[in-house]
Structure formats: C-alpha cells, structure tokens
C-alpha cells in the first residue's frame, strides 16, 4: 500500500487516559479511537492487524472445526433455561425490542449453540462435532479499561464441541490444546498454556493461554525445561532432597523488637530460608460449630497459599486466622510462635519439613529458638503443600525449575461437561437407540485482546514491535530525498512492485514528509523491516536495511535483503 | 473438505413458514437456522458462502478504500446531533447500559464515521478519503421476513467518503460505481445499476444495484443495448416517430356497457394502443385554495405515473383525482370522457400525442368517438412524459429498447452532500487556511442479502445453482460404490488431493450414504461441478462429470475435466 493513501493518525503525545502501554501505543500509532467508554473504532492500521490475527485463527481452526455465525442478539429465554439470566449479573446487557420482547447482547454463546445442537444433532453418529465463530461480543463491564484489553464490545473466536462421552471430549480438548499452540506460535507470541481453575463457566478441566508480558495481571509459574505451566495459586510446590541430620543444639535467644522474619533473620544472622513461621488458623468445626486451632508451618521466605490450605481436611474453609484471644488462650503470643510443644495439630509445608537446625519462635514473648530440629524438638502432624511456588522451585513434573512471569490471558479452553446440555436438554440417540445427554467443551480466544497483548509483549520506547505474521505491513520502503531524486523514487517503486509480487505486505512511504518523520512513524507503528532507497545505495547496488529491533542500519544487496525479509 | 466432517443439515421438506425461494432453499440446504424472529444462525455451509462474498467485496474495496471497524453499539448522543434519534423511528433499537446511559444498536454508521472524521481529519490535504467496514448491523423491523433477505440482524459493507467539494465526491462516486460493477461481476450475478431516488438518507445523486430475479420487489427498466437502467417509476418514457396524418372522419359510436378500455377496444375491434383515456385531476390551487381541473390523456394501454404527473407545474401534488361531483360540474361523466372540446388544460402524454385516427370517450354517456385526430378535433395544452415505461419503449439514452425485469436491491451508492457533516460540524482547513464543511458520500452492500439474492436468481426445482465464485464448494467428488470399491475410493482421494493442490475448493463426499442421496444433497446445496469416480471410469481413463445446470452427465478425461472446472 502507498502511505499517501493510508490514514496515518499517529500521535506524538501519549493520551492522558491510557494507563497501559498497549492502550497508549494503539492510540499513538493510530490503530484505534475511543467512541464511548469501552467502545473503540478500529482505524485502518488496526484493522489490518486484526484481520491478520483472525485469518490465522480461522486457518488453524478450519483444520478440525466448522465455522458458523450466531447472532449478537439473543432471546433471553435461552439464558433463563440455562439459569444464567440470573447468575450472570449486570455484565449481561439486557434490552427489549419494539414488541417488548426481552433480549440480551451476547457475551458468550453457550446457550445459542446448545439450542442449535439440540435441533440439528440427532444421533451419536454425528459426534464429535466442533463449531466455531469469529464474532462481536458485548460485556457491560462496570469499569472498562486498558483500551481493547478490557472493552465492552470485543471480538472473540469461540468454539463449542459436542461429544458422546468424556473420552471423546478429552480427545477434542487435546486437539484444541494443540491447535491453540499452533495459533499462538503462528501469531509469533511468547505464551504458555496454563492449568487453570474453571471459574464461573463450570466443568472439569481447563487451560488458560497466557501471553507473557511484564504488565500481565496473572502470575504464571512454568518450567524452564518442559511445557508445565500453572497459575501460581494452582502450581504444586515440591521439594528437592531430604532433611539433613541435626547438628546444633536447641537454644533460646533473646529477640526483643524483632517482629518480622526479616528482622529476626538479620538479628540472628541467618537466611530467612533457614527460619520458619507458624500461623494459627481455625480447624474444621464439629456439629456444634466448635473448632480448635491448627498450626501451619512454612519457611520464613515462603508464602501461605490459602487455596491449598483450605483444601486440607483439618482446616476450615474459608481460611480464618486465629484471633488474638484464641492465640492467648493457648498461652502463646503472636510474633514468637514456634511449632515445638504445641497441643494442636502441626501441619508443615514440604519445604519447611526438610529443614534442620532452623530458627522459630520460642513460644515466649520476645524470644526465638535456634538449632530447632523436627522430631527431636518438635512434632509434625502432617506434611503438606500449603505454599505458593517461587522462582527456582523444582518443576512438579520433575523437569527443570520453576520460573514465574506475568501473563495476559488471551485464550481459554474448557471441558464443560454437561452443564449446558443438561440444562437445555440437548440429547441425541445412542448406539442402543436411547437418547443421552451430550458432553460439551468450549474454546475461546480474545481476538481483539490478542492484538493488545502482542503489543504488551513487544514494544520499546520508540513504539510497537510487531511479530511479522500480524504486522500491519511486513516491510516499509522509504525513498530518500523523494522530492529531488527521481532515481530514488523509481528504484523504490521498482522494489515495491518486486516485493509485492514476492508476496510481501509492503508499505511504500511516499508521503510528502521528512525522512525523520517517516522513520519515527514506521517505528511507532511497528513495521518489522525498513528499507531506505537512496542514490548512494543505487550506485553501490545496495539497500539500507534496518530491522525493527536492530540498533543500527546496514547495507544489503538485493539477494541478502530478500533472505532477511523472509526471516 | 470431507463431507463426513461437515454438518450436512439438508431437509427434504420445505419449511412451512418460508415464503420466498431463497429462504426455503437456505433452510433446506442447511445454510441457516432461525434463532428468533429475524435472527438467524449461519451454519457451516452458509458461512462458507458468506465468507466468499465478503472476501470479494474486501478485495475490490481495498483497491480504493480503507477498512475500519466501528462498534455495533453507539451512544445515542450522536444520533441526537444528526437529528435521526427522532427521525429514524422504532427500527432504531435503543437500550440503556448498566449506568443508565442511552445507546442504540447501529442500523448504519453515518454518525459514528462523521464523528471520527471530525476528530481525525484536519486538512483538505487528507481528502478525499474513503472508509469502509464489513460489520453486523441491527434494524428492528416491525415484520422481519424472507429469511436473511429482511432480517433484523444482518451484515453490511458500508463505506463513507469525505471530500473537499462536489467534484471530488463525484469522482469517488464514479469510482465506487465502477467498484460495485467489479464486485457484482465477480460475484457472478446478473445485476443492473439503477438510477434511484435518494429516499430518507438524503442527498443528491444515487444508484441502486439490483440483482435481477423474478421474485424481486422492484421493477427495473433497462436498455437491451446500453447500461441505462432505472426504477420503472423513474425511467423517462420517450416516443419514437411523429404523428401520422389523419385519414378517418370523426364519428360518434354507441358503446353501451363498455366501461373499460379493453371492453371498448374489443367492441370497436381496435387495439387498446389505438385508444386514449382521459383522467381528470386537480390543478394547482391559488392563494385562496381554489383550483380547477386538468385533463391527463394517455394511450389506453399505458399507465399514469403519479410521480411524473405531480412534477408538472399545472398539477397539484399529491396527485388527486377529481371527485364525481367535480366531473359532473364540467358536464362530463366518468367512462366516456374524451379530450375534445374541454374547457380545462389538456396535458397529453408523449405516446398519446403521436396517435392519429384514435378512439376516445365522446363526452356523452355511453358513447365514444372513432377517427379522433389532434388539432383537427381536439387541442393539446402540453405534451409531457406522464406514464410508466413499458417493455419495448425506446431507451431514453437512444440505445436499444426498454426491458422491464424485477430486481432485488443489494447495493446503494449515495452522494450524501453535507447532511451529516453539517449537522455534526465536520470541518477541515482549506487551502486558504479557513475551515470548511466537508462533503460526503456513502456506499452500502447488503452482504447477507447478496447471498439470498444470488439464490433468488439462480435455482431450479432441485435446489440452488451457485455462481462458482461464491459456491460453498466449487467441485464435489463422489466415489461410486464406496463401501465395496477401494479402487474408486483411492482414485477419488487422488483426484481430491490433485484438485485441492490446483487451488479448487473441493468437497469429497465420503459420507456413508447412497449415491442418490449424495447427488440430491449436492444439487440442493448447489455445487457447480460434480465428478463421479467409478471402477468403470478408472478402466476407461475417464471421470463422470455433470455441471449443476447440465441435463446429462458426460465422460471426460482428466485434461478436459480440468478445462471444464476452470470454467
């Protein structure tokens, strides 16, 4: 495309109301403009990226699923059948048509597709089947923000599969897991498939797909050596090695004014990892609502994971810390509690359980003990995984170590089971001639969100750095001294035709602007390859090439240039 | 694609509530299913067609316009600014979000794009510019019908151009006129660009694009020899030749009980084209509201065109026929009025004005005259075009004759002028440094409607007959005796791979069904080319080929087959 015919809507200043980098850069690069809160118009540059993302998703989905297109507007009756009309809350936008019939703007399409399936699917022979669409959705967020990252109107690729049994669901689920890897790889993104809790959609078994970026909202723990990845809250914390033998004698030391682990460790000149903290929480209540306390012991440098603790049969859920009075009733004082000599169950985290000669509270105000050793000095009721994983932990699958990064959720695959098919009575005839309720899976990708996430992962202080597969243009050609050099213009035009013919998506920057302005714009909008055509280069038989991540430009002849562009 | 992996949702019976053939066939072929009144889910087969239509539109639009994507939901404030919040009526669906802010579901996007333009366009140097989108729209029709032909939710390609002046608008308008020809030609449709009234959107200058089909709602008059085409109501009626000399004497004849032109002509044994009818209508009123009558004279076989008559300065608008009392006050009687001896203006249609020796009412009850001749027997106040064109009329551009067919409107291009830019104060700086209001054009294509219109134009009693460019599959391969002939299956697979590699969109019908069922399905869904692979053919080195419009199949060798498939 010729830049003179493109709406360049680049901004020099960062708009004040854009909090995250992708929102700022999408506005500055002229990709989007706000129409109203949480509603954005995609400008030509943005649509080019959006269309490329959607095309890659379609190509990969078409290998195993069929594209359909469901209405944005849905009759509310279906949501009443599934029970979500009540459950979904005010994010579900409701309206009435001119005949006063109630509808919703679809935030998701489980009900509509299940309604379709119960009409069209008659026999187990038609299963499994997987339908997808790429479509506009609406979620009436109370506080839309971060541009298209959390907008009210957005584009989703949503897929729904139907199965005769759980085994078939699992097979398709694995297929979608692989398809998602193919998609995000082709999108050129650094991502992780993460074991996830299923949240409100329900079901049993799900993965989130996260684009790794420092600005992400979620902490992802993944292995350096395998494809293990999980939300930090979900990742199993394992421990390497066994407990060493005791070498020190137990000793009570004065630790006045040392309240925190850090203060105690500093005072006693030990690493926090050589200390433990002992937390008192409520145990499960009996029939009369009475409960006793439970001690949870973790290494001083570790954090309690509430979800894991709540899952223990000894511990009350939701997790509730002992009150000051309850602690005092046991003759203890917060700040100096230790696991030794306690009359309540002592549940010890795996990592704390392999310590020897460690530091703990002395169960006396203002005092700690050193040289504490399990069994000799303190008894363990149960060893359990009750902490968050940390960088450097062994990966639970035994391969590599844990690395924690922030991620942006861009995809989610679910094993839905029979939640919707049961509610909407979606049955087909089985091999035995009897009707049975089908089993479902669902698979989403936030298409508009992917664009923002790609930017959050790929930018510098000059602007966006697109992966080549989704860049608005793969290559930009800038004729040098355009106004006065017909030779440079002619050579640029020739290269433009040649690269177009070779299948590249090329921008010829023929705007009547200074080269500096063009260079800044091209860096801001993130074109991966920039080629400058000048008289000097023509004479030397070379082109000035600069990759978007390169610090310096370099001279390349045509053959080398083509090799570089193909990447 | 393998048919075993496609949702074949073909129906043998025609659904009862589908009135038009495209709706019936889209349901029967398994292209769409109704979700609620005026809301349809597109099934896999339908989406394939829809995507092909959209892709062709995008390819042609991209040559001169930039794709954008505006939200479906729009703040009502913009509609209040343009005045359409009031003017649009109940087809504009309004709703409130969770914060009680009023929005609409966009039926069209003039306001949103003009709002964008007033923010992004600063200078005449950025003009002309043309933005388009392919997007879901909503119009709350009081009585949605005909399937996707008149649904509530539908997909439009809408484009909006911005200009410094009328000349620039006209240039882009002509460009879009040509682009639309390119699009509808590539879609394989028989269509006409029709001069149109601009209707409610306003402006000066517009064409409708109609797909010709017997079921169309509009009558289109077009030339057999040129690209002249107009709505019948808009087409100029011209007359060939001049009035012959009188040869008969004026004679009064008794015509008791002959009330209609047909009855009079039969009684007198003349052709209705040799008679005239004289209609009395109100003339324009004076300041006191008083008016006299005007006589309109047309050939007996012609129809008055109200719009043309109303445009005459002698005639009152809206056109109002004289009452019985008014007729009697002139001493006349309905059924026997003639133009001779009238005391009121006599406005004669061009075709009636060149008659000689014709029949008219005698201005005496139960009597007519024969051998009537203008000037000798009756005076003409004015000759004017006041009738509808008919088949066989000369084309007004002088080339060929008029042919009238029914059309389905699938596209519309408008010269909007400054209606929206004025209302929304969309100004840019001119060459003189002063801001001026921009001039706009808009250009729509009903993407979902095109699919239905293509069917209305191309079907037979077996089903749909797709133009190859938008067929869900271009070619279907059926292995004969699939269950028992591994040779046929292998040869079919080989041909399948070969045709896919050659770039054809191929369906391999590997379903476990009888050939008869497959053949009916393939005809119903309208695949243009069918190839049967059988042992007999393998031995003879041929394939059984049948084009969708062919009466009989024929045997072709591979080379000939490829020639036929390329069309």
pLDDT of residue B204: 52
Which H or E run includes B478? strand B475-479
d(CA A32, CA A27) in angstroms, rounded, equals 6
Pairing of strands B102-105, B93-96: antiparallel
Mean pLDDT of chain A: 94
| Chain A environment of B131 (Cβ under 8 Å) | 7, 44
Q: Considering only CB atoms, which chain B residues are within 8 Å of A73?
A: 39, 105, 138, 152-153
Interface contact flag, A131 B44, Cβ < 8 Å: yes
For A50, nearest residue in chain B (alpha carbons):
B69
pLDDT for A202: 41
C-alpha–C-alpha distance, residues A186 and B511, integer Å: 33
**Contact check, Cβ <8 Å, B7/A140:** no
With contact defined as beta carbons under 8 Å apart, do B1 and B506 qualify? yes
Peptide bond into B191 cis (omega under 30): no
**A203 pLDDT exceeds 70?**
no
The secondary element (H helix, E strand) that includes residue A373 is none
What Rg, from alpha-carbon coordinates, does chain A have?
A: 30
Distance (Å, whole) CA A329 – CA A342: 12
Instruction: Please judge whether B126 and A90 are an interchain contact, meaning their C-beta atoms are less than 8 angstroms apart.
Output: no
The verdict on a CB contact (< 8 Å) between A69 and B41 is: yes
Residue to mutate among B11, B15, B64, B67, with most A CBs inside 10 A, is B67
β strands within A229-345, DSSP E = 229-231, 251-254, 276-282, 293-299
Q: What is the dihedral of CA A370, A371, A374, A380, to 10 degrees?
A: 0
Question: What is the rounded CA–CA span in Å between residue B528 and residue B57?
Answer: 21
Are residues A119 and B74, on separate chains, in Cβ contact within 8 Å? no
CA distance to partner chain A, nearest, from residue B187 (Å) = 21
**Mean pLDDT within B55-75:** 97
pLDDT at A221 exceeding the cut of 70:
yes
CB pair distance less than 8 Å for A40 and B73: no
Which whole number is the average pLDDT over B303-320? Answer: 92
Architecture of domain B15-236+404-455: 2-Layer Sandwich (3.30)
Quick one: closest CA in B to A155, which residue? B71
Q: Where are the beta strands (DSSP E) in A418-467?
A: 427-429, 435-437, 439-446, 459-460, 463-464
> For A452, how many CA atoms within 13 A lie in the half-sphere containing its CB?
31
Which pLDDT value is given to residue A15? 85
**Residues of chain B positioned with their CB less than 8 A from the CB of A135:** 136
Token pair for A335? 């700040």
Instruction: Give the Cα separation of A151 and B73 in Å (integer).
Output: 12
| pLDDT tens digit sequence for B355-366 | 999 999 999 999
What DSSP line would sit under B398-420, residue for residue? SSSBEEEEEEEEEEEEEEEETHH
Q: Do A71 and B95 touch (CB under 8 A)?
A: no
Distance from CA of A531 to the nearest CA of B (A): 24
Min Cα distance B198 → chain A (Å) is 26
Task: State in words which class domain A473-566 has.
Answer: alpha beta
**What digits encode the pLDDT tens for the residues A314-326?**
999 899 999 999 9
Verify whether the Cβ–Cβ distance A97 to B140 is below 8 Å. Answer: yes
B17: part of which helix (H) or strand (E)? none
Query: Is the Cα dihedral B87, B92, B93, B94 positive or negative?
Result: negative
User: Whole-angstrom Cα distance, residue B104 to residue A141?
Assistant: 17
For residue A437, give both structure tokens: 């309720």
Identify the burial level of A192 via C-beta atoms within 10 angstroms of its C-beta, where 0-12 means exposed, 13-18 middle and 19 or more buried.
buried
Cβ-Cβ contacts under 8 Å, A6 against chain B: 66
CB B42 to CB A66 under 8 A?
no
> How high is the pLDDT of residue A186?
98
Secondary structure letter of residue A424 according to DSSP = T
User: Which residues from A are below 8 Å from B136, CB to CB?
Assistant: 72, 135-136
Nearest chain A residue to B126, by CA: A7
Interface residue of B10, B30, B50, B73 to substitute, partner A, most A CBs within 10 Å: B73
Kindly report, residue by residue over B415-448, the tens digit of the pLDDT: 999 999 999 999 999 999 999 999 999 999 999 9
Q: B50 and A69 in contact by Cβ < 8 A?
A: yes
CA distance A222 to A400: 9
User: Of all residues in chain A, what percent carry a pLDDT higher than 70?
Assistant: 99
Residue B250, pLDDT > 70, answer yes
pLDDT at B197: 61
Tell me: pLDDT of A25 over 60: yes
Chain A residue with Cα closest to B103 = A36
Q: Are the Cβ atoms of B68 and A90 closer than 8 angstroms?
A: no
Three-class SS state of B137: strand
Position A200 pLDDT exceeds 60: no
**Residue scoring higher pLDDT (A257 or A245):** A245
Output the average pLDDT for chain B: 94
Q: What angle do CA B10, B13, B15 make, to 5 degrees?
A: 95
Residues of chain B neighbouring A116 (CB-CB closer than 8 A): 33, 35, 41
Which residue in A355, A354, A388 sits closest to A274, CA to CA? A355
Class of domain A251-384: alpha beta
Cβ(A378)–Cβ(A340) under 8 Å? yes
Residue-wise DSSP of A166-204? HHHHHHHHHHHHHHHHHHHHHTT--EEEEE---GGG--S
B113: left (phi > 0), else alpha (psi -120 to 50), else beta? alpha
Evaluate whether A106 touches A74 at the Cβ level (below 8 Å).
yes
Tokens (6 digits) for A339: 């696991």
Residue predicted with more confidence, B257 or A315: A315
**Confidence band for A204, pLDDT divided at 50, 70 and 90:** low
Q: What is the pLDDT of residue A199?
A: 41
Is B98 in Cβ contact with A93 (below 8 Å)?
yes
Cβ pair B71:A33 closer than 8 A: no
| Cα B384 from Cα B348, distance rounded (Å) | 6
The predicted-structure confidence for A134-151, as pLDDT tens digits, reads as follows: 999 999 999 998 999 999
Assess whether pLDDT exceeds 60 at residue B198: no
Report how far residue A44's alpha carbon sits from residue A32's, in angstroms, rounded to the nearest whole number.
9
Please answer whether residues B109 and B158 qualify as being in contact, where contact means their C-beta atoms are separated by less than 8 angstroms: yes
- For helices A447-457 and A21-28, what crossing angle results, to 10°? 100
Residues of A in contact with B97 (CB under 8 A): 93, 140, 152
Chain A residue at shortest CA distance from B92: A98
H or E stretch at A361:
strand A358-361
Question: Would you kindly state where each structural domain of chain B is located, as residue ranges?
Answer: 15-236+404-455, 251-384, 473-566
User: Could you say which of A50, A75, A153 has the minimum Cβ distance to residue B72?
Assistant: A153
Nearest to B149 by CA among B85, B211, B106: B211
Q: Which helix (H) or strand (E) holds A475?
A: strand A475-479
Q: Return the structure tokens found at B18.
A: 């589908």
Q: How far, in whole angstroms, is CA A185 from its chain's centroid?
A: 15
Q: In which band, very low, low, confident or very high, does the pLDDT at B238 lie, cut at 50, 70 and 90?
A: very high
Q: What is the pLDDT of residues A442-454, one digit of tens each?
A: 999 999 999 999 9
Q: In this complex, how many residue pairs, one in chain A and one in chain B, have their CB atoms less than 8 Å apart?
A: 143
Whether residue B199 is predicted with pLDDT greater than 50 in this model: the reply is no
Sign of the alpha-carbon torsion through A354, A357, A363, A365: negative
Chain A residues within an 8 Å CB radius of B100? none
How confident is the model at residue B200, as a pLDDT? 39
| Contacts of B271 by beta carbon, 8 Å cutoff, 6+ apart | B265, B301
- State how far the alpha carbon of A149 is from the alpha carbons of A410, A431, A449, B566, in Å: 9, 46, 5, 45
Helix (H) and strand (E) counts for chain B? 16, 30
Statement: residue B203 has pLDDT above 90:
no
How near does any CA of chain B get to the CA of A185, in Å? Answer: 25
Interchain pair A73, B138: CB under 8 A: yes
* Residue A47 near residue A173, CB atoms below 8 Å: no
A427 CB burial (10 A radius; 0-12, 13-18, 19+): middle
8 Å CB contact of B120 and A33: yes
Contact A338, A275 (CB under 8 A): no
**CA A523 to chain CA mean position, Å:** 27
According to DSSP, residue B512 is labeled S
Answer yes or no: do B71 and A105 touch at CB < 8 A. no
Q: How far away is chain B from the Cα of A90, in angstroms, using its nearest Cα?
A: 7
* Predicted confidence band of residue B495 (pLDDT cuts 50, 70, 90): very high
Of B69, B120, B152, the CB nearest to A7: B120
Answer yes or no: do B33 and A116 touch at CB < 8 A. yes
Give the Cα-Cα-Cα angle A515, A521, A523 (nearest 5 degrees).
100
Residue B44 Cα, gap to closest chain A Cα (Å) = 5
Cα torsion B336, B337, B342, B345 to 10°: value is: 180
- B378, B339 Cβ separation under 8 angstroms: yes
Write down the residue that tokens 């509730």 correspond to.
Answer: A320
Instruction: Evaluate if residue B202 carries a pLDDT over 50.
Output: no
pLDDT band at A430 (very low <50, low <70, confident <90, very high): very high
Q: Is the Cβ–Cβ distance between B184 and B467 less than 8 Å? A: no
Separation in Å, CA of B120 to nearest CA in chain A: 7
> Is the pLDDT confidence value at A262 over 70?
yes
Using 50, 70 and 90 to split pLDDT, how confident is the model at A24?
A: very high
Is the pLDDT score of B499 beyond 50? yes
SS3 A148: helix
Distance (Å, rounded) from C-alpha B489 to C-alpha B480?
A: 8
With beta carbons less than 8 A apart as the criterion, state whether B82 and B423 touch. Answer: yes
Radius of gyration of chain B (CA): 30
What is the structure's pLDDT at A198? 43
Q: What is the mean pLDDT of residues A67-88?
A: 96
Tell me the per-residue pLDDT of A487-519, one tens digit each, with 9 for 90 and over. 999 999 999 999 999 999 999 999 999 999 999
CB contact under 8 A, B39 and A69: no
Cα separation, A159 vs A155, in Å, equals 13
């Amino acid at each position: 495309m010729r830049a003179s015919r493109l709406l360049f809507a680049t901004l020099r200043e960062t708009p004040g109301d854009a909090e995250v980098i992708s929102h700022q850069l999408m506005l500055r690069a002229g990709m989007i403009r706000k129409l109203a809160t949480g509603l954005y118009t995609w400008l030509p540059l943005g649509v080019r990226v959006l269309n490329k993302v959607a095309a890659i998703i379609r190509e990969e989905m078409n290998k195993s699923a069929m594209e359909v297109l469901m209405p944005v507007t849905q009759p509310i009756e279906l949501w009443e059948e599934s029970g979500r009309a009540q459950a979904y809350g005010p994010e579900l936008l409701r309206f009435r048509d001119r005949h006063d019939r109630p509808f919703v703007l679809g935030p998701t399409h489980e009900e509509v597709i299940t309604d379709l399936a119960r009409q069209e699917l008659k026999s187990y022979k038609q299963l499994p089947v997987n339908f997808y669409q790429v479509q506009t959705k609406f979620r009436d967020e109370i506080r839309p923000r971060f541009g298209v990252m959390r907008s009210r109107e957005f584009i989703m690729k949503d897929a729904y599969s139907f199965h005769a049994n759980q085994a078939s669901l699992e097979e398709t689920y694995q297929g979608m897991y692989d398809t998602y890897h193919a998609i995000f790889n082709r999108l050129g993104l650094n991502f992780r498939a993460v074991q996830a809790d299923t949240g409100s959609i329900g079901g049993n078994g799900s993965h989130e797909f996260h684009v790794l970026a420092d600005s992400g909202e979620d902490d992802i723990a993944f292995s350096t050596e395998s494809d293990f990845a999980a939300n930090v809250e979900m990742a199993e914390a394992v421990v390497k090695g066994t407990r060493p033998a005791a070498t020190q004698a137990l000793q009570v030391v004065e630790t006045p004014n040392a309240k925190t682990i850090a203060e105690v460790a500093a005072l006693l000149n030990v690493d926090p990892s050589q200390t433990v903290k002992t937390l008192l929480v409520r145990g499960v209540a009996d029939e009369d609502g009475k409960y006793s306390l439970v001690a949870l012991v973790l290494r001083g440098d570790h954090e309690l994971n509430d979800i894991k603790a709540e899952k223990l049969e000894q511990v009350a859920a939701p997790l509730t810390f002992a009150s000051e009075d309850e602690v005092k009733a046991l003759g203890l004082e917060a700040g100096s509690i230790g696991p030794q000599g306690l009359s309540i169950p002592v549940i010890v985290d795996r990592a704390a359980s392999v310590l020897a000669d460690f530091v703990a509270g002395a169960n006396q105000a203002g005092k700690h003990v050193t040289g504490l050793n399990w069994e000799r000095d303190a008894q363990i009721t149960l060893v359990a995984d009750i902490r968050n994983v940390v960088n450097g932990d062994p990966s639970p699958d035994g391969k590599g170590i844990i690395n924690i990064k922030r991620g942006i959720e861009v995809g989610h695959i679910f094993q839905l089971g029979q939640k919707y098919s049961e509610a909407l009575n979606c049955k087909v005839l089985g091999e035995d001639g009897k009707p049975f309720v089908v089993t479902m899976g669902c698979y989403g990708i936030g298409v508009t969100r992917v664009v923002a996430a790609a930017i959050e992962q790929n930018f510098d202080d000059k602007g966006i750095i697109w992966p080549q597969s989704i860049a608005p243009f793969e290559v930009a050609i800038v004729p040098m001294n355009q106004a006065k050099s017909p030779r440079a213009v002619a050579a640029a035009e020739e290269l433009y035709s040649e690269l177009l013919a070779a299948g590249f998506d090329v921008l010829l920057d023929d705007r009547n602007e200074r080269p500096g302005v063009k260079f800044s714009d091209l860096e801001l909008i993130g074109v991966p390859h920039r080629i400058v055509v000048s008289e000097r280069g023509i004479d030397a038989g070379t082109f000035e090439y600069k990759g978007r991540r390169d610090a310096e430009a370099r001279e390349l002849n045509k053959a080398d240039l083509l090799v570089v562009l193909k990447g």
